Structure 1
Amino acid sequence: MSSFDRRTFLLIPLALTACGFQPVYAPGGTGATLNGRVAVSAPSDVKSFLLVQNLEQKLGRSATSGSEYKLAVSVSTTTRAASISTSNETNRYTIDGRANYSLTSEESGQVVASGQVIDFVAYSAAGSTVSTLADERDATERLMEILSDHIVTRLYTSPDITA
């Protein structure tokens, strides 16, 4: 006999509502609150430009003046050899990325959310110089997209952001 009870399954939404669960993109949710209201800090190099570009795509682009929140981000990367052949040639590289972020309310000046996200990507260096450079550029773009996804997820799940 199965222990599955349909009545229990139907009560799950009630339990989630009671604990304060609210869909991110619902009216009044964090996604709706931040969409188009966050001014991201100006990029200082190619990596930070890619990160800011991805953040603006996900959060909606906001004018620097008149926005409700200011998001300051800084990114750093480290490239290291991940695979070395017996002839002492590097075949694969890993790029470790770290992004620090801080979301500040323009109205109160209070930091609403802050933190650090870390991830990595790898690329092949076994081809020609041109293909290795293209692979490195592609890996950097992927890493900045991954880091921006992490930042947006953390912002959306921050309890201090209200409509």
Structure 2
Amino acid sequence: MTRFLPLAALLAPIALGACGLQPLYSGGSSGAVAKAIGQVDIAPIEGKAGWLVTNALKDRLGAVSSGGAPYRLVVRLDDQISELGVRRDNSVTRERRTLRARYQLVDAAQGTVVLDQTAGSDVGIDVVQSDYAVIAAEDTALERLSTVIADQIVARLALYARRRVQADAQPAP
């Protein structure tokens, strides 16, 4: 059995290449997808969660609001904290913080929405005796959720950009 492992290791890249998988960011930062998602202007997002999501998106997209970008990303957030665990004396022991985003990618030249999707995540928070510790945990949860939301949005933007690049590369009939 162990003598077939080297052969399997040599054949694995060939089998993966035949399945049609392609790297999303081929070409690195100079690739077509990376260049396409780098041309997205992020519209201001309200609130503390909006500030965190905007910064996370800018970090991932490499976008700086220039005003001349061909696409504009509009994001609306819904940030909720709900009680999850309650003791007999009606004191809360656990909370759930949920952050949802509805985002639209707008073609700046035409003003049309080319992508309209949602992203979301949630996290549990232990409620302890110290109010300071609970507030710190809620803030940390919001920071974590903001990065998760930004990762989801960027992944979907990259998939959209790849489809656009592939469609533009197809010869006209």
Residues paired across the two proteins, number: 160
Number of the residue aligned with 2:171: none
Are positions 1:28 and 2:31 aligned together? yes
Amino acid at match of 1:154: R
Whole-angstrom CA distance in 2 between matches of 1:25 and 1:110: 28
Q: 1:7 to 1:124 in 2, by over 3 A?
A: closer
Number of the residue aligned with 2:154: 152
CA contact (8 A) 1:72 1:102 kept: yes
Matches for 1:109-128 after TM superposition, within 5 Å: 109-128=111-130
Whole-angstrom CA distance in 1 between matches of 2:159 and 2:68: 24
Deviation of the 1:46 alpha carbon: 1.3
Deviation of the 1:75 alpha carbon: 0.5
SS at match of 1:79: strand
Q: 1:8 to 1:50 in 2, by over 3 A?
A: same
Matches for 1:101-112 after TM superposition, within 5 Å: 101-112=103-114
Q: 1:112 to 1:69 in 2, by over 3 A?
A: same
CA contact (8 A) 1:23 1:29 kept: no
Q: For residues 43-97 of structure 1, give each alpha carbon's deviation from its aligned partner in whole angstroms, at most 9, with x where no partner exists.
A: 2211111111111111013234111210000100221112222332111110112
TM-score normalized with structure 2 length: 0.79
* Greater percentage in helix: 2
Percent of residue pairs identical: 21
TM-score normalized with structure 1 length: 0.83
CA contact (8 A) 2:72 2:107 kept: yes
Number of the residue aligned with 1:70: 72
Whole-angstrom CA distance in 1 between matches of 2:47 and 2:9: 55
What RMSD over aligned residues (CA atoms) do the two structures have, in Å?
2.4
SS at match of 2:156: helix
Gaps of 5+ in 1: none
SS at match of 1:71: strand
Amino acid at match of 2:34: G
Q: 1:10 to 1:20 in 2, by over 3 A?
A: closer
CA contact (8 A) 1:39 1:62 kept: yes
CA contact (8 A) 2:99 2:121 kept: yes
Deviation of the 1:104 alpha carbon: 1.8
Whole-angstrom CA distance in 1 between matches of 2:99 and 2:36: 28
Number of the residue aligned with 2:141: 139
